[in-house]
A and B are shown apart, each in its own frame.
Chain A
Amino acid sequence: MTTRFFGAPIKRNEDKKLLTGQALFIDDVELPGMLHVAFLRSQVAHARIQHIDVSRALKRPGVVAVFTADDLGAYWKPGPLLVPPPPISGIVFNQRTQVPLAKDKVRHVGEPLAIVVAESRYIAEDALDDIEVDLEILRAVVDLEHGLGTSSVHVHDDLGSNISAHVRQIKGDYRCAVAKADLVLKRRFHYEHGISSPIETRGVVAQWNARGSQMTVWDTTQAPVFIRNGLAAMLGLSERQVRVIAPFVGGGFGPKIMMFYPEEVALPWISMRLNRPLKWIEDRLEHFFATTHERGQIHDAEIAVDSQGRILGIKDVFLHDTGAYNPYGLTVPINSQCTLLGPYVVPAYDSTFTAVFTNLPIVTPYRGAGRQHGVFVIERLLDLAAGELNIDPAEIRRRNLIPPDAFPYSNEIIYQDFQPLEYDSGNYEPVLDKALETVGYNHFIKHEQPKLRAQGRCVGMGVACYVEGTGIGPYEGAKVQVQANGKVSVATGIGTQGQGHFTSFAQIAADQLGVDVTEVDVVTGDTDQFYWGAGTFASRGAVVAGNAVNEAARVVRQKALKLASDAFECSEDDLVIADGKVSIVGIPQKFIRLGELAQRANPMRGAVKPGTEPGLEATQYFGPPSGATANGVHAVILEIDPLTFELKILKYVVVHDCGTVINPMILAGQIHGGVAQGIGNAFYEKLSFDDQGQLLNASLADYLLPTALEVPRMELAHITTPSPLNPLGIKGAGEAGAIPVGPLFAQAIENALNVGRKKVELLEIPLSPSRLFELTRMADQP
């Protein structure tokens, strides 16, 4: 097979629609007779519901219906558990999943209490004010440690505690490691993560067609097939009666895969009851409460090293804030637990976490999905050890890297995909070297930094390493079909939110079928176009669906060659497939177009031979045995204003190994965007809750997404170590950019500030100028 397109920076097929305002996003769906929905959401974090009176709302002109939990009858039940707890011995997991509408209690600000259906969104919002809610306010569980105390109130009364889960995983013998160690360091780390805040919020449009007994749901989901299956079960329909379409989706980053959100459950059911199409578009205020977050962990972590800085063991005990419910199981804390091990040889590891229910919005994966928390801890521990042992921060990392001949490398513990944590492949040292070279590490440390410091400038260098488990199963599929007009259509079950799947999948199919990329139409996220699949998450779309596309296109290619060889009465070996046609080698004028072959594959007369299928199409599935592990190194040079603590990034470098690259242009975009979100997490974005669980900064004026002035130019470089786990050798890349920015900033800011003063240790994320002021002032105090 020639690879004209695979690996090339092909411009995107989907751009034109998006650039001209013609792409269909959820709020662009307009249906005749459509009604609009608004949700009454709790203003308080924790309360017992005494009474809800909707009578005034029902009287408002333009209001069609109002529903509370009681109105849902038997349809009301807690949502499914998306990811059951992994098979880890001794695991405790207390399943408490979210409900469509709060019934007896509200458990976080923004939890829906009632649904208003009206002729317009404006009227629906008016009617929210008409609803009277009588609540008995309860103390809120906000602080993780208090939440585990004996005097704490309980988020779920029947549980008798606020423990959502308790998991211990062990590798080697940590106590032996300590006995052999020259240095043991222990610190407490706080890591807060934020809210994904895609520029498009969530939305659902549901249309029940009573005549056809058919439910159509447009949903900003990352996983339309699961939504289809779940809705069918809830609504008492066959899967075939439900079509879920994820149209163009304006960014996802994880929380759009959470399911089932109350709105996804409610709208289809109400649409059936009223026999009217309904639309709900989350507004930005709702997004801060109604879409899932990622949030805090507190780690008490300890590292044991020898005098050369080699890691002998790590012990970590951490608390994880899971919010009011835990529908996504343990994916986030397990990722933290596993990713902490990083690209390093860690002979002994003893990690225990307790996930805690709080009266805060639900926590599910958001880009990085807990990996950041783990990477922060290991990277900071290494920095501290390097400082104690007077070893260069880059050097201590180098000494601990897993050597290239050690792959596949088993870390023994269980990962989020239930498989043992095994790194499939990697070559870590060249990645580190490349990053140091690109950022100018030695030159900066030896020459530039002393010079700038002499001028009174606070400049610092940071280098952070990470691995990212990507491309996990279970599977994805793809249907590749040559149309009679010669165009190739590719359909897959995943959703897409800007990752360029319309192009990268087209590149794969185009190479197999000898057509131009622009001749390939990719359909994602429509369950009527492709029936099976899991979804876009865990940096898996390109890996899993990409390989399925490749397999299906390969089968179609074989079919095309077979059909042409029959037509030409020649051997398939004498045929070449290129430029949209199959021709005989050396006789280019002797050809058949792919479109014609597609027509021949569906004859009007004669018989289709036994064992063959009509149509020039194939459907194939791909399921990797386990996830492929990508890795990378970020390096930064930054400057801090020594008085105001404002930050300026002077240089930012990413060196990344995600195996074989389908489209380097798209990959670079993924990394740029990930870094921008990482920078937001490290220095700008903080969800500020008060002790009653109120979010104090629920607006984009106060929740600070980085702008073009905060995100620097980045220099990218790649090392390629193909994954042996899939034929294309791909590893995922979606989350990598976001993962190591926290520890990178902490290290570089420390490096910038720790001159001529008592050392400041930065053990928390996010940081801010105000926080740096407080921390340096504390350190400066005698």
Chain B
Amino acid sequence: MKPAPFNYIAASSLAHALSLKAEHGDEARFLAGGQSLIPAMNFRLARPAVLIDINGVGHLAGVDRSNRAEIRIGALTRYRDLERDGDFLKACSLFADALPHIAHPQIRNRGTIGGNLSHADPASELPAIAVAMEATMRIKSATGERQMAASEFFVGVLSTDLQAHEMLVEIAFPTPKPRTGACFMEVARRRGDFALVGIAVVMTLDDARRCSTVRLALCGVGETAVDVSKVAFPLIGQSCTTETIEAVAAGVRDAIAPSGNVHASADYQRHIAGVLAVRAISAAHQRVRHAA
């Protein structure tokens, strides 16, 4: 289990990294945390000809809260940095819920947010969180930059809208509105394993404690993170009750088409999606009520 040969280039700056990517295109991969890429290379499932190491690139890591409308996370920010950022976790409680489920401390010390999202594993927690929080993905290349909604960024299994010359450089999460509650839950075989099913819920209540907006996204049950917010729209303008939440859960079960895997049948995944929908919506609702 040794990687096939490649050329390794430690990029000295973002511009350097992007120009290298422009030069080598699909033959090259960015090396950030390497916690998904290097195992794939050790199995020889991935064989990039060029590895562009961006770990030495300044200004790519960190949480920027200078803009009150959004929280910006640099692509090279490591899970562990977020875990230790109390203010961030308070603002983005989905991360507080989800980070302990992401692999193990040793992996979280290296793994990066941008690397995870660019890898686009459908069972991974972060894509679902990005979709649920309506994150904006900021993308750069040697020739320009663009941004797009998380929901459009993920296009398939391990596949994103990123073009061969591009890099995801920043993820911007809208600052949650007042009276917003969120919850991430998952079922995995062991702590740290990929989710068999995971769900991210973001819910905002109005002054009358009725649901004003709700976002729902799942991981592990499709080719990408699955946005099922629509099935929760009937909650809007309503109070969350056992009945209304159960109705959403039924909608979630119907809305997804999990394929099953060696650990879980498709029926079990569908069932769990419903169970987690009830639990996570209830918890998000509880949290916002407690906070309000």
Task: Flag if B5 contacts A688 (CB, 8 Å).
Answer: no
Task: Flag if A710 contacts B190 (CB, 8 Å).
Answer: yes
Task: Flag if B268 contacts A773 (CB, 8 Å).
Answer: yes
- Complex interface bits, B1-41 against A, C-beta within 8 A gives 1, otherwise 0: 11111000000000000000000000000000000000000
B residues near A773, Cβ cutoff 8 Å: 265, 267-268, 271
Min C-beta distance of B120 to chain A, whole Å: 17
Known A-B contacts A125-B2, A688-B262; the reply to A646 vs B43 at CB < 8 A is no
Nearest CB to that of A125 among chain B residues? B2
A residues near B192, Cβ cutoff 8 Å: 707
Q: Report which of B1, B187, B194, B267 forms a contact with A644, defined as CB distance below 8 A.
A: B187
Q: Report which of B1, B44, B194, B263 forms a contact with A768, defined as CB distance below 8 A.
A: B263
Task: Flag if A774 contacts B265 (CB, 8 Å).
Answer: yes
Min C-beta distance of A639 to chain B, whole Å: 15
Q: Report which of B4, B5, B262, B265 forms a contact with A702, defined as CB distance below 8 A.
A: B262
In the bound assembly, the distance between CA atoms of A125 and B263 in angstroms comes to 31
Task: Flag if A770 contacts B1 (CB, 8 Å).
Answer: no
Known A-B contacts A284-B1, A643-B275, A773-B271; the reply to A709 vs B191 at CB < 8 A is yes
Nearest CB to that of A121 among chain B residues? B2
Nearest CB to that of A704 among chain B residues? B189
In the bound assembly, the distance between CA atoms of A706 and B3 in angstroms comes to 28
In the bound assembly, the distance between CA atoms of A699 and B40 in angstroms comes to 11
Task: Flag if A774 contacts B189 (CB, 8 Å).
Answer: no
Min C-beta distance of B199 to chain A, whole Å: 12
Known A-B contacts A121-B2, A701-B193; the reply to A769 vs B265 at CB < 8 A is no
A residues near B268, Cβ cutoff 8 Å: 769-770, 773-774
Which A residues from 671 to 706 make CB contacts under 8 A with B? 684, 686, 688, 696-697, 699, 701-702, 704, 706
Which B residues from 179 to 193 make CB contacts under 8 A with A? 187, 189-193
Task: Flag if B193 contacts A704 (CB, 8 Å).
Answer: yes
B residues near A283, Cβ cutoff 8 Å: 1
Q: Does B272 contact A (CB under 8 A)?
A: yes
B residues near A684, Cβ cutoff 8 Å: 189-190
Nearest CB to that of B43 among chain A residues? A285
Task: Flag if B187 contacts A686 (CB, 8 Å).
Answer: no
Nearest CB to that of A683 among chain B residues? B189
Known A-B contacts A284-B1, A644-B187, A769-B187; the reply to A697 vs B262 at CB < 8 A is yes
Q: Does A126 contact B (CB under 8 A)?
A: yes
Q: Does B250 contact A (CB under 8 A)?
A: no
Of B193, B262, B265, the most chain A CB neighbours within 10 A belong to B262
Q: Does A122 contact B (CB under 8 A)?
A: yes
Q: Does B264 contact A (CB under 8 A)?
A: yes
Known A-B contacts A121-B2, A125-B44, A283-B1; the reply to A646 vs B187 at CB < 8 A is yes
In the bound assembly, the distance between CA atoms of A701 and B5 in angstroms comes to 25
Nearest CB to that of B268 among chain A residues? A770
In the bound assembly, the distance between CA atoms of A468 and B44 in angstroms comes to 43
Task: Flag if B190 contacts A709 (CB, 8 Å).
Answer: yes
- Complex interface bits, A703-718 against B, C-beta within 8 A gives 1, otherwise 0: 0101101100000000
Nearest CB to that of B275 among chain A residues? A643
Q: Report which of A122, A707, A710, A777 forms a contact with B2, defined as CB distance below 8 A.
A: A122
Of A684, A699, A702, A777, the most chain B CB neighbours within 10 A belong to A702
Nearest CB to that of B279 among chain A residues? A643
A residues near B193, Cβ cutoff 8 Å: 701, 704
In the bound assembly, the distance between CA atoms of A409 and B265 in angstroms comes to 47
Min C-beta distance of B255 to chain A, whole Å: 19
Which B residues from 181 to 225 make CB contacts under 8 A with A? 187, 189-194, 196
Q: Report which of A125, A126, A699, A768 forms a contact with B189, defined as CB distance below 8 A.
A: A768
Q: Report which of B1, B190, B267 forms a contact with A285, defined as CB distance below 8 A.
A: B1
In the bound assembly, the distance between CA atoms of A769 and B272 in angstroms comes to 10
Of B194, B268, B271, B272, the most chain A CB neighbours within 10 A belong to B268
Min C-beta distance of B250 to chain A, whole Å: 14
In the bound assembly, the distance between CA atoms of A24 and B191 in angstroms comes to 33
B residues near A699, Cβ cutoff 8 Å: 43
Task: Flag if B1 contacts A696 (CB, 8 Å).
Answer: no
In the bound assembly, the distance between CA atoms of A769 and B196 in angstroms comes to 11
B residues near A121, Cβ cutoff 8 Å: 2
Min C-beta distance of A123 to chain B, whole Å: 9
Of A644, A646, A699, A773, the most chain B CB neighbours within 10 A belong to A644
Nearest CB to that of B187 among chain A residues? A644
Task: Flag if B189 contacts A707 (CB, 8 Å).
Answer: no
Task: Flag if B4 contacts A770 (CB, 8 Å).
Answer: no
In the bound assembly, the distance between CA atoms of A707 and B105 in angstroms comes to 14
A residues near B262, Cβ cutoff 8 Å: 686, 688, 696-697, 702
Min C-beta distance of B53 to chain A, whole Å: 19
Q: Report which of B5, B191, B265, B275 forms a contact with A770, defined as CB distance below 8 A.
A: B265
Nearest CB to that of A696 among chain B residues? B262
A residues near B189, Cβ cutoff 8 Å: 684, 704, 768-769
- Complex interface bits, B58-71 against A, C-beta within 8 A gives 1, otherwise 0: 00000000000000
In the bound assembly, the distance between CA atoms of A284 and B190 in angstroms comes to 20
Min C-beta distance of A139 to chain B, whole Å: 22
In the bound assembly, the distance between CA atoms of A702 and B44 in angstroms comes to 18
B residues near A644, Cβ cutoff 8 Å: 187, 272, 275
A residues near B190, Cβ cutoff 8 Å: 684, 704, 706-707, 709-710
In the bound assembly, the distance between CA atoms of A643 and B192 in angstroms comes to 21
Task: Flag if B5 contacts A126 (CB, 8 Å).
Answer: yes
Nearest CB to that of B278 among chain A residues? A643
A residues near B196, Cβ cutoff 8 Å: 770
In the bound assembly, the distance between CA atoms of A686 and B263 in angstroms comes to 9
B residues near A770, Cβ cutoff 8 Å: 196, 263-265, 268
Min C-beta distance of B189 to chain A, whole Å: 5
In the bound assembly, the distance between CA atoms of A773 and B267 in angstroms comes to 9
Nearest CB to that of B192 among chain A residues? A707
Min C-beta distance of B191 to chain A, whole Å: 5
A residues near B264, Cβ cutoff 8 Å: 768-770
Known A-B contacts A284-B1, A644-B275; the reply to A774 vs B267 at CB < 8 A is yes
In the bound assembly, the distance between CA atoms of A759 and B44 in angstroms comes to 48
Of B3, B193, B272, the most chain A CB neighbours within 10 A belong to B272
Min C-beta distance of A40 to chain B, whole Å: 13
Min C-beta distance of A680 to chain B, whole Å: 10
B residues near A704, Cβ cutoff 8 Å: 189-190, 193, 263
Min C-beta distance of B202 to chain A, whole Å: 22
A residues near B5, Cβ cutoff 8 Å: 122, 126
- Enumerate chain A interface residues (CB-CB to B < 8 A): 121-122, 125-126, 129, 283-285, 643-644, 646, 684, 686, 688, 696-697, 699, 701-702, 704, 706-707, 709-710, 768-770, 773-774, 777
New contact pairs (6) apart from A704-B193, A769-B264, A770-B265, CB-CB < 8 Å: A644-B272, A684-B190, A688-B262, A768-B264, A770-B264, A777-B267
Q: List 17 A-B contacts (CB under 8 A).
A: A122-B2, A122-B3, A125-B2, A125-B44, A129-B4, A644-B187, A646-B187, A684-B190, A701-B193, A702-B263, A704-B190, A707-B190, A710-B190, A768-B263, A769-B264, A770-B265, A774-B268
Which are the 3 A-B pairs with shortest beta-carbon distances? A770-B268, A283-B1, A770-B264
